[in-house]
Amino acid sequence: MYIAVLLPSLLALFALYKNKITVSGTIAAWIMGIIITYVGGIYAFIALALTFFLTILSDKLKKKDRDEKRTIYQMFSNVLTATCALIIYYFKQSEIFIVMYYAVMGGSLADTLASSIGSLAKGKNINPLTFKKMNKGESGAVSSLGLSASFLGGFVIGAVYYLSGGDIVNYLIIIIMSALDSYADSVMGAYLQGKYKCSKCNKISEYKEHCGEKTTLIRGFNFINNDIVNLLSNIIVFITTYIVMIIK
Ligand SMILES: [Zn+2]
């Protein structure tokens, strides 16, 4: 129990020190971190910590539209679904929910790596459904580099599951489900997420404000932002992994 409080606390303090997450976001992540470590043990914590550190590292790669700290909404959209899988595990004690935890966590990391490493891609970016050419860096645009990076997320997080004594077939399921998360993220990013045009610099942005002025919606829905897309893709992986594990 002490370890379950101590380890997430160290992570939360580091996040505050690095100034990467808002205070409310840190508190939300801290509470979810305690639940994760208490129920899922040290390996579940390692998966969370790896996702956290690799996300910070990959943020450095990505040229951001604007410099920003991660908010409470971003923390919830990335960690809440994974936490729910472990809460269900606590009551049901079925391995299925452990696999779901790692799949969703791997998916969050896959998204992050696909967009940051993918932003370095020199080649053309394509639409995930029509395979038509898309502007680089636009929400939903897919590059072959980004696609490869999305498999890396599940590979890393699945390895933690495997090292904890997990089954090799489940490891493969975690890799595939994590990549599915990133793909679902791209499709919804391309079709549902609100895209805005800045009246000053004419750039297309995912934000409602750019260059200090309000932008105008040109595609998607204004109530669907990146956080909602992340949450939805996590829920898709949550459900799909459950179905796959049931019929396996
Ligand atoms: Zn602008």
- Output the CA 108–ligand 1 centroid distance in Å: 29
Tell me the pLDDT band of 165, cut-offs 50, 70 and 90: very high
- Output the CA 66–ligand 1 centroid distance in Å: 10
The string of pLDDT tens digits covering residues 30-70 is 999 999 999 999 999 999 999 999 988 887 877 665 557 78
- Output the CA 202–ligand 1 centroid distance in Å: 6
- Output the CA 146–ligand 1 centroid distance in Å: 26
- Output the CA 188–ligand 1 centroid distance in Å: 24
In the chain, % helix, strand, coil (3-state, to 5) comes to 65, 10, 25
- Output the CA 152–ligand 1 centroid distance in Å: 33
The string of pLDDT tens digits covering residues 93-149 is 999 999 999 999 999 999 999 988 888 887 788 888 888 888 776 778 888 888 899
Is the Cβ–Cβ distance between 171 and 162 less than 8 Å? Answer: yes
Query: Does residue 206 or residue 188 have the better pLDDT?
Result: 188
According to the model, what pLDDT value does residue 232 have?
96
- Output the CA 184–ligand 1 centroid distance in Å: 28
Strands 195-197 and 204-205: antiparallel
- Output the CA 210–ligand 1 centroid distance in Å: 4
Q: Where are the domains of the chain?
A: 2-247
**If you compute the radius of gyration of the chain from its CA atoms, what whole number of angstroms results?**
18
Is the Cβ–Cβ distance between 205 and 137 less than 8 Å? Answer: no
According to the model, what pLDDT value does residue 123 have?
76
Is the Cβ–Cβ distance between 140 and 183 less than 8 Å? Answer: no
- Output the CA 138–ligand 1 centroid distance in Å: 15
The string of pLDDT tens digits covering residues 87-107 is 999 999 999 999 999 999 999
- Amino acid letter, 63: K
- Output the CA 199–ligand 1 centroid distance in Å: 7
In the predicted model, what is the mean pLDDT of residues 148-174?
Answer: 96
- Output the CA 211–ligand 1 centroid distance in Å: 4
Q: Which two tokens stand for residue 42?
A: 């040290």
